[in-house]
Amino acid sequence: MLARCRVLAYHKRYGDRIAIGEGMITMEELHLNWNRWIRLTHRWLSIAFTAVIIVNGVAVALHKYTNRLGLSAVFVLALEFFTGLYLFALPYAAKWRSGRARNENG
């Protein structure tokens, strides 16, 4: 049943509303939910990055540092970079969209 609800979300649009399960949500609510998940992912990635850096410091102090351990920090940092870039661009994209909508209406 859940798979059928997801298919409805992509194929049955009613104006600016999408049918998901029993209820209806707006596209804006769906967009805000996406932004919420990106923010949450970014926060958890920052916690993971801090933990990996602490582990790196302990490994260096114990003379057990490996390149794989160092690259794990780079991998988490790269993911955090892309989520941060998205979050950085959000206000500019919102301003651009509101200006474009104003030009179309006015």
Select from 36, 3, 35, 46 the least CA-distant residue to 21.
Answer: 3
Q: How far apart are CA 43 and CA 22, in angstroms?
A: 32
What band does 21 get if pLDDT is binned at 50, 70 and 90? low
**pLDDT reading at 64 higher than 90:** yes
What band does 22 get if pLDDT is binned at 50, 70 and 90? low
Partners of residue 20 on adjacent β-strands: 23
Structural domain spans, the chain:
2-101
CB 18 within 8 A of CB 24: yes
Select from 43, 24, 25, 28 the least CA-distant residue to 83.
Answer: 43
CB 52 within 8 A of CB 10: no
Structural tokens at position 83? 């989520």
**pLDDT tens column, 27-56:** 666 666 788 899 999 999 999 999 999 999
